[in-house]
Structure 1
Amino acid sequence: MKNLFKLALILLMFIGLDTYAQESIIGEIKYTDLEKYISLAKQNYPRRKALNETVTKAKAELPITALSYLDIFNGSYFYRPQQKTVIDPVNPYNVNGFQFGINLNLGAFLQKPFTAKKAKSDLKIAQYQADEYELALAVEVKRRYYAYIQQISQLKINTQSVQDNKNVADNQLYKFEKGEITLDTYNQSRINLTNASTAKIQSEVNLLMAKDSLEEIIGVKLSEVK
């Protein structure tokens, strides 16, 4: 009888292995959905938005830097009433009427080319950082999506395992009631069923976590993605 039970367990194990071997996440991956998720992440993920704003800010600095060339010039004027005498013992160059002058800040003038170059470099750096993170973001979306698909497949496997172990446990109960197997053999089948059920529950939790992780990075619920 014990040999018959062992043979049944071995047969069930091979059947289970054959069933599990047929499970693969490759066929479950939908690349059109994956591209949608990557696009949504680029639109909605806060850090991606922040880097886009950094690029926008760096672009805005370029015209500001160009206009700042006017800062190196200071204009002034002096008005001397017409009734005043032209001769001025303090400043003999004064004349009646308006006098205009422009002053050049030499230090600021020399700094401007370097300031403009720095602004252009800052823009390039911001763009490179945004491009780099866009690539990293796509990789992260893929990683979370694959993990999500993996947990779906794992749940299917564990669900089937629970069903298989339940069938065995029910069969062992029938045999135990007829006195064909020992109590230890029957208890082992119940332990196997409990372990399979625990694994299924854990895979359900893992699936929910993977789903939340994917939704967090794309910024919307999976049910809302069309």
Structure 2
Amino acid sequence: MNKSKLFFLLIIFLSVDKFVCAQQTIMNDISEDYIARLVAHAEENYPQVKSNQNRISIAQGNIGKAKVSYLDAFTFSYIYQPQGINTLGNVSGTTSNYNYFNGIQAGIFFNLGSFLEKPYAVKQARQELEIANNDQNQYYLTLTNEVKKRYYTYLQDIAALKLTAQACIDNENIANDIKHKFQKGEETFDNYTKAQGNLTTSYQAKIQAETALLIAKADLEELLGDKLENIR
């Protein structure tokens, strides 16, 4: 094996060894209390939760309307008959002021069929409220799970960026060292080119890691309805 290949393998070994030693865990960064605050913030601000709450309010109002609708079965009516409107004529051609109805005649009418429908209307309104509550509870579970997943992804991307940034620094040091040696004639052009290529690749990986972190943060803030920095 020639010197050039040996040096290149050494660079790879050092990079891998550095990467393994720099491995971190995100488990120590996970705070259940902080996650609970994130979930509470999402439940308070996310539009879908507010829409579900409005549906619950509407369903509660429908129960009241259904109960009050029992009165629809009763109809109140009245007739006002002034004095002297209805008169009777006799055979002599004279008139009499006798009235069949005088004053106000009132009455209450009851619709049995309409009355019997009301219990079913109340039952349906209560079932609609139960469905709305179940939908809200189900969405709370879904929202909690989604907040956790996006938060874990956010922590993962932070850790990945740290590793990528460290690998970038290492490749910068290696590239600068090889560059100086190459300028003094102590290193080959092939190794210099490879070192510069590795450095470029590291820069690209760092940019991708930064972009992934920004996207993960935006995805999490979408559920929170607020900046992550505002939630402590």
- TM normalised by structure 2 equals 0.87
SS in 2 for 1:162: helix
* Residue 198 of structure 2 corresponds to residue 192 of structure 1: yes
Following the alignment from structure 1 to structure 2, what is the Cα–Cα distance between the partners of residues 200 and 6?
22
- Match in the other structure for 2:67: 66
Deviations 1:158-202 (A, max 9, x none): 000101111111121133233333211110111011001101011
Q: Equivalents in 1 of 2:182, 2:49: separation in Å?
A: 63
- 8 A Cα contact 1:86 1:95, kept in partner: no
Could you tell me how far apart the structure 1 residues matched to 2:191 and 2:135 are? 63
Distance 1:85 1:3 in 2: 125
After TM superposition, give the deviation of residue 147 of structure 1 in Å. 1.1
Q: 1:168 aligns with which of 174, 192, 216?
A: 174
Shift of 1:131: 0.5
For 1:84 and 1:158, the matched residues in 2 are separated by 102
CA displacement at 1:85 relative to structure 2: 7.0
Q: Alpha-carbon deviations, 1:106-137, whole Å to 9, x = none? A: 33222211111110010000000000001100
Supply the distance in 1 between the matched residues of 2:177 and 2:6 (Cα, whole angstroms): 13
Corresponding letter in the other structure for 1:53: N
Aligned match of 2:58: 57
Amino acid at match of 2:32: Y
Instruction: Give the drift of 1:46.
Output: 0.4
Q: Identity of paired residues, percent?
A: 39
Q: Which of these residues, 21, 36, 57, is aligned with residue 19 of structure 1?
A: 21
Cα drift, residue 86 of structure 1: 9.5
8 Å Cα contact 1:165/1:193 also seen in 2: yes
User: What SS does the aligned partner of 1:181 have?
Assistant: coil
C-alpha separation in 1, matches of 2:107 and 2:5: 112
**Would you say how many aligned residue pairs link Structure 1 and Structure 2?**
221
In 1, are the aligned partners of 2:74 and 2:111 still within 8 Å (CA)? yes
Equivalent in the alignment of 2:143: 137
TM-score (norm 1): 0.89
Work out the CA distance in 1 between the residues paired with 2:113 and 2:185.
Answer: 104
Give unmatched runs, 5+ long, in structure 2.
89-99
Q: Give the aligned CA root-mean-square deviation in angstroms.
A: 2.2
Greater mean deviation of Cα atoms: 120-129 or 2-11: 2-11
Residues 1-226 of structure 1 aligned to structure 2 (within 5 Å): 1-2=3-4, 4-20=6-22, 22-83=23-84, 94-226=100-232
Structure 1: gaps of 5 or more residues: 88-93
1:91 is matched with which residue? none
Deviation at 1:219, TM superposition (A): 1.1
The amino acid across from 1:56 in the alignment is S
Q: Which amino acid aligns with 2:19?
A: L
Cα distance in 1 for residues equivalent to 2:62 and 2:140: 23
